[in-house]
Amino acid sequence: MDSLDDLKKRLREFARERDWEQFHSPKNLSMALIVEAAELVEHFQWLTQEQSRNLPGKTLREVEQEMADVFIYLNRMADLLGIDLMDAARRKMELNAQKYPAHEVRGKADKR
């Protein structure tokens, strides 16, 4: 796969071949996405900051799988809602740049 558009098409076909489109409502996909995100968080729950940056190989492969699940559900949901994720991310970054000017928030983790 070379692009998000390619992924979207392959996911659409994957669901169609299995007759899963009936289950892929935005509601169901958003719920599945949060379940997968929770499974991702589980891997980091009791780790220190340093441990979270240096995962053992097996754990890293499991984290990779959970991240893929989140990514797949997010892309499938965007397809159903007609959202261009790349464009949405670009616009969100522009909003964040306005909301959090680098000269005002550099080195700060608190929200304003």
pLDDT of residue 112: 62
Instruction: Please list the rounded mean pLDDT of every run of 10 residues in the chain (112 residues).
Output: 89 97 97 98 98 98 98 97 96 96 90 67
What torsion do the CA atoms of 49, 52, 42, 73 make, to the nearest 10 degrees?
Answer: 120
pLDDT of residue 40: 98
pLDDT of residue 2: 80
Q: Is 102 exposed, middle or buried (0-12, 13-18, 19+ CB in 10 A)?
A: exposed
pLDDT of residue 1: 60
Q: Give all domains of the chain, ordered by start, each with its CATH number.
A: 4-105 (1.10.287.1080)
pLDDT of residue 109: 86
